[in-house]
Structure 1
């Protein structure tokens, strides 16, 4: 259904290098004859990135709210202070006195925050890289 295109400058995609790998994949999914203008495509990609960021923030807020309600406000505070990602194994050792039924949801929320924090770091790294290349 989709034709695979190379990522070279000869394919007419002169601005692919400035995109994130996820954005490049999205751009390259379109068939060459149906490809949108660069301006429209950049708007679509920007909207996609914004929606991803909003979803990420919602997940992080829900995880922090759960942590506070469950009696683990220190982890929510660590996330808000940008001290994530944290080691889940160390958390399990710190809370070995808890039942497995409570440790599993705790680790699930912490994994969500770790994922959100690493995505934030990736975005900041790409921005810094783009600024230094410009």
Structure 2
């Protein structure tokens, strides 16, 4: 009888956990195996249609390295030019993930994170793991190393 009660309580707790809304972010199926051409079209569609809060993957080359943002959570910042010709600000949280060392203008960076539209092309953030486990993990890839 005790086993049945424990199993029922466990099942109820699990159901409650799975039923809650964890994130409103739209998830695009892009598990890391590199980004795909389809990922580029999803990102371009988000830019063209001024969409935000969209999980995307892609790549670009660094056109400018900016000073770190040190207000609140610290972020390494740089601008990528992507295949469609647009530029994106990458804001990589270096309180939760390692900084990309030796990043230079002209380097290629692959990314998986959340896209937010702005009038300059947009921002990619959430390029790190979620310590609470409530958001899809993001990452950056540079020179064969993954930063998450």
Q: Does the pair score TM above 0.5?
A: no
TM-score normalized with structure 2 length: 0.26
| Larger strand percent | 2
TM-score normalized with structure 1 length: 0.28
Q: Which has the larger radius of gyration?
A: 1
Higher relative contact order (CA 8 A, sep 6+): 1
